[in-house]
Amino acid sequence: MSDFLAQLSAVPSRQYTLGTVSDEIYDRQLRDLKACFGQPAFVPGSVNLTECLEAISPSIHSLSFLCLLRLEIQQTQKRTQCDIPEGLEPGGNLWKHAIRFLRSFDPIQIRYAGYEWRELVELVASAAQATSKPILAVKAIRDALDRLDTSGIFTSTHLILVKLTLHSASYTSALPILDRFLSHFPPDTHHTHHEFPLCSECTPATAFITDVPGISSKLTYRDHLRFFLYSAMIYMALKRWDQASHCLSIVVASPTANSVSKIMVDAYKKWILANLLGHGKVPAASKMIGPHVIRVLHSLARPYISLAEAFGKGDLRRMGAEIEIGQSVWKADKNTGLVSQLFDAHDKFAIIKLGKTFSALTVVDVLQRAPSCSRDHFVIEEFVASMVMSNALRASLSHSPGGQSVTMLRLSPTAQCHAFREEYIRTKLIKGRIALNTIAKHIAQTDEALELSPENLHFIAKSQKWSGNSEKNGTAGAAEIDEDLMGDGQ
């Protein structure tokens, strides 16, 4: 037993060791350990797995812990003839171990057991689902993804996370993951060349996710479309329309090969509604969307487009009629909730528009000037007040001193305190800078992966010129060799 434990804890996480082990040795140790678990005789039959799990720490000996846990789960599954045995249900023994592991594992060691890691995550997710407690898994999986740090690579785990989030309606808990830029996908090509061993701090995420094929299941186009659609739904639930619209435009603008996915159609419908709710108008469709896709989308989302037209014209009666006519459509598309928010949004934008024309007017006038407002004049004051409070409208309300029930609405664009405004701009700029840097980094990575550096392009162009000119001389071969050298040099 103790021998076995010693074997398990032979390779501790580097964060907890004082001496420095070189990357190569550490790499070999981890690979050996992983290989050991592949042998059936490695775990002696006398050993109580549960005790072992108690004995070793998931944060220091993550690889051993994960493999042991997997073994234990497999054994239990075999014993109970059940995919999700009792111990794995929330509150159970195995569940506790799994959660403890997901919260504290060492991301470097896990690189050697990507497949096992994903299996555990999926088990946790389905266990939580099976017991109708998805919220318990959401946080654990979010933390696990956070620890793994895929640095912008989309994996199947992301999709699991957003699904669980939607099921559990705990929208804010997924935000830390959603707010990060995802811009890469695990390519299914295997690089033969490694600059660093897998365990090195310097190994870029693109490399290990590629090299550990198991860390994400095989993806299809539906997975990433769904992920962004679900992310948008989460943002919409939180009324973060800008982000929602961005996610939806990703789905709509997704590259296609002669066909349009129904997910894209759904996203387009929601995109129209999100923009109406967030901006009061539908912007022109992105130029990145192919014309044939636009045609399909337009023809399939016709009720939404005419609804948006009615909204844009401020024609409240027509909008009401459109909403009434389309009841079954909204219901079928599960957009009834969004559509029902349109009236509020309409009034909001009508009042904001007044601010461009008037600098002050009575609340009664508001009703007259925005004739499309769907409220009577007692409610309108409350509505305006709530808009001012939520910072949607820069204005102030004042009751007249004479005791008459006339409330004056002063709309002033510069009502905000100057210093406050500067601070606000500053934070936005900083956020923008971070986002820009991330994007730039990702673009550079993609450029590298696509071998798009200017030097390389220049070189290829040149070598083709050579080969074109000197085909007869047989120097074309030299150029090819050069090209290979260049490829290796990267």
Partner 1 sequence: MELMPPDVAEGNFTPYGAQATGPGSAGQEASNGNVAASVGPFVRVDDTPKFELDSYIANYSGRTKFNRLFLIGTCSTHLSVEALKAAIAEAKSGKDVSRYERAVQALAENAPNEIEAVLDREWVERLQRVVRAETDRLEHELRGYKNNLIKESIRMGNEDLGQHYHRTGDLTAASKAYSRMRDFCTTPSHVASMLFKIISVAIERGEWLSVQSNVQRLRSLQTKQEEQSKNQPKISAALGLSQLHSGSYLDAANSFLATEPSLGDSYNDILSSNDVAVYGGLCALASMDRNELQRRVLDNNSFRNFLELEPHIRRAISFFCNSKFRPCLEILDAYRADYLLDIHLQRHVETLYTRIRTKSIQQYLVPFNRVSLESMSKIFVLGNRTDQPSPDSNSAFVQELIELIQNGTLDSRIDLEKHVIVSSQGDKRIEVQEAALESLENYIEEAHIRLLRTNIVRAGLEVRPLGDERRPRPEERVGGKRSTIGNIFSRATGTKH
Query: Within 201-260, which residues bind partner 1 (CB under 8 A)?
Result: 219-221, 223-225, 242, 246, 249-250, 253-260
CA 253/CA 268 separation, integer angstroms: 10
Is residue 186 near partner 1 by the rule CB under 8 A? yes
Q: Which of 132, 359, 396, 470 binds partner 1 (CB under 8 A)?
A: 359
Q: Report the residue count for the chain.
A: 490
- How many residues belong to the site for partner 1 (CB under 8 A)? 73
Query: 340 burial class (0-12, 13-18, 19+ CB within 10 angstroms)?
Result: exposed
Is residue 430 near partner 1 by the rule CB under 8 A? no
Residues 6+ apart with CB under 8 A from 120: 66, 69, 70, 73, 98, 101, 102
- Secondary structure class of 375 (helix, strand, coil): coil
Considering the complex, state which of residue 49 and residue 253 has its C-beta at the smaller distance from partner 1.
253
Torsion, Cα 191 197 199 205, to 10 degrees, reads: -30
Is residue 6 near partner 1 by the rule CB under 8 A? no
Alpha helices in 93-202 (DSSP H): 93-104, 107-110, 114-130, 134-148, 156-168, 175-178
Q: Please give the structure tokens belonging to residue 248.
A: 């939806």
Question: Residue 237, Cα to own-chain centre: how many angstroms?
Answer: 15
Q: Which of 19, 20, 79, 188 binds partner 1 (CB under 8 A)?
A: 188
Considering the complex, state which of residue 379 and residue 415 has its C-beta at the smaller distance from partner 1.
415
Q: Which of 16, 35, 78, 187 binds partner 1 (CB under 8 A)?
A: 187
Considering the complex, state which of residue 15 and residue 258 has its C-beta at the smaller distance from partner 1.
258
CB of 450 to partner 1, least distance (A): 7
Considering the complex, state which of residue 199 and residue 209 has its C-beta at the smaller distance from partner 1.
209
Q: In this chain, which stretch among 37-45, 51-59, 338-346, 409-417 interacts with partner 1, using CB under 8 A?
A: 409-417
Is residue 189 near partner 1 by the rule CB under 8 A? yes
CA 339/CA 122 separation, integer angstroms: 35
Which of 207, 203, 211, 205 shows the shortest CA–CA distance to 24?
203
Residue 364 parent element (H or E)? helix 363-369
Report 20-59 residues binding partner 1 (CB under 8 A): none
Considering the complex, state which of residue 91 and residue 413 has its C-beta at the smaller distance from partner 1.
413
Is residue 139 near partner 1 by the rule CB under 8 A? no
Q: Which of 44, 46, 79, 190 binds partner 1 (CB under 8 A)?
A: 190
Kindly report the CA angle at 485 between 483 and 488, in degrees rounded to 5? 110
Considering the complex, state which of residue 288 and residue 321 has its C-beta at the smaller distance from partner 1.
288
Considering the complex, state which of residue 196 and residue 358 has its C-beta at the smaller distance from partner 1.
358
Is residue 415 near partner 1 by the rule CB under 8 A? no
Considering the complex, state which of residue 51 and residue 451 has its C-beta at the smaller distance from partner 1.
451
Is residue 305 near partner 1 by the rule CB under 8 A? no
Q: In this chain, which stretch among 32-40, 155-163, 384-392, 455-463 interacts with partner 1, using CB under 8 A?
A: 455-463
Residue 409 parent element (H or E)? strand 407-411
Query: 63 burial class (0-12, 13-18, 19+ CB within 10 angstroms)?
Result: buried
The conformation of residue 398, written as its DSSP 8-state character, comes to E
CB of 272 to partner 1, least distance (A): 17
Q: Which of 91, 214, 337, 432 binds partner 1 (CB under 8 A)?
A: 432
Is residue 377 near partner 1 by the rule CB under 8 A? no
Binding mask 461-490 for partner 1 (x = CB under 8 A): x--xx-xx--x-----------x---x---
CB of 261 to partner 1, least distance (A): 5
Is residue 4 near partner 1 by the rule CB under 8 A? no
CA 119/CA 419 separation, integer angstroms: 52
DSSP 377-396: HHHHHHHHHHHHHTTSS-EE
Beta-bridged to residue 396, according to DSSP, are 410
CB of 458 to partner 1, least distance (A): 11
Is residue 428 near partner 1 by the rule CB under 8 A? yes
Is residue 391 near partner 1 by the rule CB under 8 A? no
- Secondary structure class of 240 (helix, strand, coil): coil
Q: Please give the structure tokens belonging to residue 168.
A: 């559990």
- Secondary structure class of 412 (helix, strand, coil): coil
